[in-house]
């Protein structure tokens, strides 16, 4: 038999190197450990993330901050946008619904971390300088009468069963700063009088990294 080999064992040792396989359940190779307990996925994974938005029923003027979330300085929250904390992906699309059929014009600014400055609902819109590096991108919704911006060059609301719906294709790469959520603020691009606090809905379609 060769040096270091025995007739009753498949174990082989050459120059102090042992090629015996790792036991089942071990996630270490040599001295390296797995970064996370997750088996790689084949192909792309798409998820949707829906935010809860509360509108002021007092009319918004053009360029007002429109709507708020709860508990994050008024920012709107999209939960589980990333697969893991600090992860990322690409926002591939957004679907807006307007149950009041008012077809508002607005810009939604998406942030990779919670904005640190409070902007009250129905007050002049602003983004603090310290929050600018958190901006992942913008999504512009409306009737098409308030500018046309890439990639949404022909914006249009469609009324279906007493609700207006607008679907927008986007390409917005992002990396969450810490957790798995994205955040947003909405700027009214024209006067807008929401009749019910829950009039506006939004869902993002996300390709997770």
Give the domain CATH number at 201. Answer: 2.60.120
pTM for this entry: 0.77
Structure tokens at 156: 């249009």
Residue 133 CA to residue 112 CA, distance in Å, equals: 9
pLDDT at residue 153, rounded to an integer:
46
Classify residue 6: in a domain, yes or no. no
Residue 28 CA to residue 203 CA, distance in Å, equals: 39
Task: Say how many Å lie between the first and final Cα of the chain, rounded.
Answer: 51
pLDDT at residue 116, rounded to an integer:
84
Q: Residue 131, SS3?
A: helix
Classify residue 11: in a domain, yes or no. no
Query: CA torsion angle for 8, 11, 13, 18 (degrees, to 10)?
Result: -160
pLDDT at residue 149, rounded to an integer:
44
Residue keyed to tokens 């512009």: 140
Q: Residue 133, SS3?
A: helix
Classify residue 96: in a domain, yes or no. yes
- CB 51, CB 76: distance < 8 Å: yes
DSSP state of 124: B
Classify residue 19: in a domain, yes or no. no
Cα-trace Rg, the chain: 25
Q: Residue 66, SS3?
A: coil
pLDDT at residue 160, rounded to an integer:
85
pLDDT at residue 69, rounded to an integer:
80
Question: How many Cβ atoms from other residues are within 10 Å of residue 111's Cβ?
Answer: 25
pLDDT along the chain (209 residues), means of 10: 53 55 57 57 83 91 89 80 96 94 93 87 91 94 58 68 89 95 94 90 95
Classify residue 72: in a domain, yes or no. yes
Residue 163 CA to residue 190 CA, distance in Å, equals: 20
- Residue 152: give the domain boundaries: 44-208
Question: How many Cβ atoms from other residues are within 10 Å of residue 133's Cβ?
Answer: 10
- CB 208, CB 87: distance < 8 Å: yes
pLDDT at residue 148, rounded to an integer:
44
Number of domains in the chain: 1
Classify residue 17: in a domain, yes or no. no
Classify residue 164: in a domain, yes or no. yes
Classify residue 29: in a domain, yes or no. no
- Whether the ω angle into residue 151 lies within 30 degrees of 0, i.e. cis, is yes
Closest CA to 189 of 155, 151, 158: 155
pLDDT at residue 146, rounded to an integer:
44
- CB 92, CB 174: distance < 8 Å: no
């Amino acid at each position: 038999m060769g040096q270091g080999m025995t007739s009753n064992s498949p174990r082989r040792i050459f120059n102090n190197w042992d090629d015996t396989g790792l036991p089942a359940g071990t996630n270490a190779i040599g001295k390296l450990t797995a970064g996370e307990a997750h088996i790689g996925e084949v192909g792309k994974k798409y998820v949707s993330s829906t935010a809860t938005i509360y509108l002021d029923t007092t009319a918004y003027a053009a360029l007002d901050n429109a709507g708020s979330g709860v508990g994050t300085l008024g920012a709107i929250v999209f939960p589980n946008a990333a697969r893991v904390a600090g992860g990322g992906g690409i926002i591939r699309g957004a679907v807006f619904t307007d149950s009041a059929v008012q077809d508002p014009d607005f810009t939604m600014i998406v942030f990779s971390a919670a904005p640190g400055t409070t902007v009250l609902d129905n007050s002049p819109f602003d983004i603090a300088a310290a929050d600018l590096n958190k901006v992942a991108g913008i999504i512009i919704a409306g009737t098409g009468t308030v500018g046309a911006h890439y990639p949404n060059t022909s914006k249009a609301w469609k009324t279906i069963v007493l609700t207006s719906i607008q679907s927008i294709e986007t390409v917005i790469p992002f990396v969450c700063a810490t957790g798995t959520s994205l955040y947003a603020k909405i700027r009214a691009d024209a006067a807008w009088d929401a009749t019910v606090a829950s009039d506006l809905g939004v869902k993002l379609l996300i390709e997770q990294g």
